[in-house]
Amino acid sequence: MATPIGNLGDISLRSIDTLRRCDVIACEDTRVTGKLLKHLSMSKSMRRYDDHANDKAREGLLDLARTQAVALVSDAGTPLISDPGYQLVHTARAENIPVTATPGASAAIMALTISGLPSDRFQFVGFVPPKDAARAKFFNELSDYPGSTITYETGPRLLKSLRIAGEVLGDRLLVVLRELTKLHEDFQSGTAEELLAHFEAHPPKGEIVLLVAPAPEQAVSDHDLDALLIEALKTNKTSQAAAEVARQTGADRKLLYARAMELKTL
């Protein structure tokens, strides 16, 4: 079940009810979850769980889940999203133990929805790796993605990541969202160079989501469009050829149709 990512007011009524009714809470850190329970004036039996737990510990928890209600929480936000839980849910499903969720806050989704970047297509790729070579590979791999990319980052590592993002992504628009739902929530957007200048002057603190705008559509030259149209006209009617080349290139279908008509008269 999801817990808040900063503002305790973001816990849902169903999550509170689930915490109240469950028999055991499996949590990442009993101190962190203990604070949440204290805030809700509850006291519950807690078991520490992370995905590095050995199979015996996981099976112990799943055995419990066969007869009792076990709630899984992470320190903040939605379990499994760069947090423990995948191995537990995967095994529970494999063993036909019912699983459901009380959905709620996740920094990735909140960041996307307020970033101003396209939200119709996106990928989440977890934490930016801490080592330089892995960082460059990471940004290279996401650079061609045609939707928005969401990554997790931390204050102390942001400047290095922006430097490497700039080398790989050039002037691509980036968005940095910091301390979401908290007192000092902050939004900054710009090229890596612009963001570097800002954060060098205002060293970033706290929790961060770094987003990368979609890869720009490849501009196709008129010469290449003609070649594609001529090829498509060999096996299609004019309107179909225009539609096919529009699908391949993202160019305007009506303009392609007009050009296809011209090409047929040449």
Residue 108 binds ligand SAM (CB under 6 A): yes
State which residue, 60 or 155, has the beta carbon closest to ligand SAM: 155
Residue 208 binds ligand SAM (CB under 6 A): yes
3-state helix, strand and coil shares in percent for the chain, rounded to the nearest 5: 45, 15, 35
Q: Name the residue with tokens 């806050």.
A: 105
**Pick from 87, 91, 143, 154: which binds ligand SAM (CB under 6 A)?**
154
CB of 83 to ligand SAM, least distance (A): 4
H or E element that contains 253: helix 253-265
- Binders of ligand SAM among 158-177, rule CB under 6 A? 177
**Pick from 40, 60, 82, 257: which binds ligand SAM (CB under 6 A)?**
82
Residue-wise DSSP of 129-190 = PSSHHHHHHHHHHHTT-SSEEEEEEEHHHHHHHHHHHHHHHTT--EEEEESTTSTT-EEEEE
For residues 42 and 58, what is the distance between their CA atoms, to the nearest angstrom? 25
Sheet with 122-127: strands ordered across? 122-127, 148-154, 207-212, 174-178, 186-190
Residue 76 binds ligand SAM (CB under 6 A): yes
**Pick from 22, 71, 107, 128: which binds ligand SAM (CB under 6 A)?**
107
75 within 8 A of 83, measured Cβ to Cβ: yes
Biggest alpha carbon–alpha carbon distance for the chain: 82
- Binders of ligand SAM among 113-152, rule CB under 6 A? 152
State which residue, 4 or 214, has the beta carbon closest to ligand SAM: 4
Among 44-52, 74-82, 86-94, 232-240, which window interacts with ligand SAM (CB under 6 A)? Answer: 74-82
Residue 153 binds ligand SAM (CB under 6 A): yes
**Pick from 40, 62, 81, 263: which binds ligand SAM (CB under 6 A)?**
81
In the three-class reduction of DSSP (H, G, I as helix; E, B as strand; rest coil), residue 39 is classed as helix
Residue numbers at the binding site for ligand SAM (CB under 6 A): 5-6, 74, 76-78, 81-83, 106-108, 152-154, 177-182, 207-209
